């Protein structure tokens, strides 16, 4: 029995960690496409093909439900995969909707028409591919009206995190926040729209200032997954959990252990 969590690399570990804390009795199969990360600089077709191949591999390993814990993959591949038809009994879900439901103060799965919400000025930090897709704005428009979104493509941050260069990642975050503030001086809320960014959450919060509410995905996705599994108890899958990577298992295990501060052992996908 395992629920699948997919990311282009290490970022999805922030979602996995929150999901394991929220659902301690559920087994998870984590799959990082580290050999091909970052996805955020690839075009939509490329991200779709890579994501589709990885998700099929996870279904073959026994997962019935796969969470795309990668905004770039959610933006470029989720809708297309769902619309293209999924194999019998298999599901794939993304990470945008839980975040937007929290931002717009909706219950999980509330599909009522868009309405005015409290927050009016939102800063979105994401990869260049996620920003280019405008998937966040599209999903937001289904749920809220009158919200001004300013997006900042945070080039370089994912590479620095994947390389373990946190000093560079910090400097890049500060410069991306400065660039955002030049376009939107007083955001009320900031969305960390990439699963790697919670690893830099403190730097984002410091650079934005204490008056900005920072939304990061881990616990929001974990809560919505818990709700989903309560409503769909047949989606726990049949395979065993574990950590898989298309990259170098030793190197990826070292980085993952460093990020989560507990021993993580990856095997080759």
Active-site positions read 70, 194
20 binds ligand DGL (CB under 6 A): no
Per rule CB under 6 A, is residue 158 in the interface with ligand DGL?
yes
Comparing CB distances to ligand DGL, the nearer of 11 and 241 is 11
Position 39 contacts ligand DGL (CB under 6 A): yes
32 binds ligand DGL (CB under 6 A): no
Residue 247 beta carbon to ligand DGL: minimum distance, rounded to whole angstroms:
12
Identified binder of ligand DGL from the candidate list 34, 51, 72, 203, rule CB under 6 A? 72
Options 64-72, 113-121, 202-210, 229-237: segment touching ligand DGL (CB under 6 A): 64-72
Kindly state the number of chain residues that form the binding site for ligand DGL, as judged by CB under 6 A. 17
State yes or no: residue 194 binds ligand DGL (CB under 6 A). yes
Residue nearest to ligand DGL (CB): 40
19: tokens are 């999901």
Contact 196, 256 (CB under 8 A): no
CB of 131 to ligand DGL, least distance (A): 10
What is the rounded CA–CA span in Å between residue 77 and residue 56?
13
Residue 2 CA to residue 250 CA, distance in Å, equals 23
* 246 sits near ligand DGL (criterion: CB under 6 A): no
Counting beta carbons within 10 angstroms of the beta carbon of residue 157, is it exposed (0 to 12), middle (13 to 18) or buried (19 or more)? buried
Question: Measured from the CB atom, is 104 or 130 closer to ligand DGL?
Answer: 130
Among the candidate windows 137-145, 193-201, 208-216, 222-230, which touches ligand DGL by CB under 6 A? 193-201
Query: What is the closest distance, in whole angstroms, from the C-beta atom of residue 150 to ligand DGL in the complex?
Result: 18
Distance, in Å, from the CA atom of 28 to the CA atom of 241, rounded to the nearest integer, reads: 5
Contact call for residues 97 and 219 (beta carbons, < 8 A): no
Cβ-count burial of 21 within 10 angstroms (0-12 exposed, 13-18 middle, 19+ buried)?
A: exposed
Q: Please, which residues have CB within 8 angstroms of residue 210's CB and are 6 or more apart in sequence?
A: none
Q: State the minimum distance, in angstroms, from the CB of residue 71 to ligand DGL.
A: 4
3-state secondary structure of 31: strand
12, containing H or E segment:
none
Looking at the chain, how many residues does it have? 269
3-state secondary structure of 215: strand
Residue closer to ligand DGL by CB (options 76, 114) is 76
The residue assigned the tokens 């939102």 is: 122
Q: Which residues bind ligand DGL (CB under 6 A)?
A: 7-9, 11, 37-40, 70-72, 127, 130, 158, 194-196
């Amino acid at each position: 029995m395992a629920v699948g969590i997919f990311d282009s690399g290490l970022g999805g570990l922030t979602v996995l960690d929150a999901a394991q804390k929220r659902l301690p009795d559920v087994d998870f199969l984590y799959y990082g496409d580290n050999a091909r990360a970052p996805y955020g600089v690839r075009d939509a077709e490329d991200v779709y093909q890579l994501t589709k191949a990885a998700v099929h591999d996870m279904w073959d390993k026994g997962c019935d439900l796969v969470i795309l814990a990668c905004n770039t993959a959610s933006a470029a591949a989720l809708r297309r995969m769902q619309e293209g038809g999924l194999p019998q009994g298999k599901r794939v879900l993304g990470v945008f909707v839980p975040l937007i439901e929290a931002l717009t103060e909706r219950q999980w799965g509330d599909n009522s028409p868009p309405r005015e919400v409290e927050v009016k000025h939102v800063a979105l930090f994401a990869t260049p591919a996620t920003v280019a897709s405008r998937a966040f704005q599209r999903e937001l428009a289904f749920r809220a009206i009158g919200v001004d979104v300013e997006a900042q493509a945070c080039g370089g941050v994912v590479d620095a995190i994947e390389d373990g260069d946190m000093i560079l990642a910090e400097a890049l975050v500060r410069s991306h926040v400065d660039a955002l503030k030049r376009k939107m001086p007083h955001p009320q809320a900031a969305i960390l729209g990439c699963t790697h960014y919670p690893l830099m959450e403190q730097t984002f919060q410091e650079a934005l200032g204490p008056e900005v509410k920072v939304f990061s995905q881990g616990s929001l996705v974990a809560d919505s997954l818990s709700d989903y599994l309560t409503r769909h108890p047949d989606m726990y899958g049949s395979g065993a959990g574990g950590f898989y990577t298309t990259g170098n298992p030793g190197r990826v295990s070292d980085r993952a252990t460093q990020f989560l501060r507990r021993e993580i052992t990856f095997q080759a996908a």
